[in-house]
Amino acid sequence: MLLRRWIATGVAAVATLGALNTLPATAGHQPNPADQSLRTLGMRHDLFIGTAVDMAALNDPADPQYRQLTASQFSTVTAENVMKWESLEPTRGVYNWGPADELIAFAKQNNQRVRGHVLVWHNQLPGWLTSGVADGSISTAELRDILKNHITNVVKHFKGKIWQWDVVNEAVSDPWDTPSTLHYKGFWAQHLGPDYVADAFRWARAADPKALLFYNDYNIEAFGSGDPANDKTQFVYDMAKQLLAAGVPIDGVGSQGHLGTQYGNFDTLQVAAALKKFADLGLATAFTEVDVRSQITEAMENGDSNEINPRLQASAANYSVLLQACLADRHCLSFTVWGFTDKYSWVPNWFGSEGLANIYDENYQPKRAYNLMKGDLIYSGAPYVLPRIPQRPRR
Ligand code: XIL
């Protein structure tokens, strides 16, 4: 609680200073770029700025600010949960399109593009599916048909309304998994083998010829050793290259961008180099789920600025690294944050004692990360930052 108040006070002081700061006469009638939204500033580069949307928050009449900021600051939206399999088909054969359709309608109303998330993932699967496979009542052959039907039904339902689909999510293991040699992990690889990846892209393309089809994963912001046995970025790069060589209709690779300030992370040059390598394969890229969390200590709970400030600054710097790298590559089409306010972040639920991951605090005050993002969008341009090159869906 103290921590919340401490941050809010700091931001109020900054806002007062800003108000006292008068524009020089030479600024004429130019609008102050700092007063413009992220989405408006992103359009200087044809870059779409997005957020994941929590439908409960969007529909909460007691919290109009969430809806207002979702509409005003962002030019693309992603369903945080309501397009996942357990939400769309909680009972076998009975689809629940309502919440996802609502998000699509909201996006249309606010002139926003939609990232579809997600068609194939090992998490948030409905119980009927996982228990059916576990008890043997769903055979491997039937499972493949079920997956094909799911992709076909979902992509057809949203046909023409989705800009980018996350077709396959998080298919690759991490070096800390067992075995430590990188491999295809999770429910789908276990039951269908790695070929499900290519199948999924083909089925998605058959259902919507125009959506951009993405592979999406975390810990692929930069290349490491270059050995696909332990460098996840390299593993994903090799996978994408093989898919392309086999004529699989993959259009892009999404880098989730879930970072933590306690880790080494990367600098702009490393991230830009990785985006360029993917672009050189003929793929679009995107940052799809950016947030930068920190460990919350007891001292922070008691308002200790020695511990709070370095974390807020490090979080902001990491947002900036990813955004600058994206700006620097003309094939990086969108930059989506995984929720914009600490009020509804998945981080404390998922990582326990971590938080402060988003660009607004719990009271909707913009944090340093927000302002750094704005600065990057404002103070960049030719010759190194140029408008995006649109991606054509591959057949
Ligand atoms: C998370 C959501 O934010 C949570 O609300 C949910 O409980 C679990 O999933 N990678 C992804 C996202 O691709 O779908 C995850 O979203 C975060 C990690």
pLDDT at 346: 98
CA pair distance 353, 296, nearest whole angstrom: 6
- Residue 390's CB: how many other CB atoms inside 10 A? 11
Domains in the chain, ordered, with CATH?
2-14+33-379 (3.20.20.80)
Tens of pLDDT, residues 341-366: 999 999 999 999 999 999 999 999 99
CA pair distance 268, 230, nearest whole angstrom: 22
- The phi and psi torsions of 325 (rounded to 5 degrees) equal -65, -40
Confidence of residue 3 (pLDDT cuts 50, 70, 90): low
Tens of pLDDT, residues 281-291: 999 999 999 99
Q: Are 229 and 181 in contact (CB under 8 A)?
A: yes
CA pair distance 150, 156, nearest whole angstrom: 10
Q: How far is the CA of 350 from the centre of ligand 1 (A)?
A: 9
pTM metric for this prediction: 0.94
pLDDT at 31: 85
Query: Does residue 142 have an active-site annotation?
Result: no
Kindly give, in sequence order, each residue whose CB lies less than 8 Å from that of residue 178, ignoring residues fewer than 6 positions away: none
10 has a pLDDT exceeding 70:
no
Query: Does residue 170 have an active-site annotation?
Result: yes
What is the identity of the amino acid at 95?
Answer: Y
Asked if residue 80 has its Cβ within 6 Å of ligand 1, the reply is: yes
Confidence of residue 29 (pLDDT cuts 50, 70, 90): confident
299 has a pLDDT exceeding 60:
yes
Query: What atom in ligand 1 is closest to the CA of residue 349?
Result: 7
Query: What atom in ligand 1 is closest to the CA of residue 288?
Result: 13
Q: How far is the CA of 57 from the centre of ligand 1 (A)?
A: 15
- The phi and psi torsions of 122 (rounded to 5 degrees) equal -85, -10
225 three-class SS:
coil
Asked if residue 54 has its Cβ within 6 Å of ligand 1, the reply is: no
Pairing of strands 164-169, 113-120: parallel
Query: What atom in ligand 1 is closest to the CA of residue 169?
Result: 13
Confidence of residue 243 (pLDDT cuts 50, 70, 90): very high
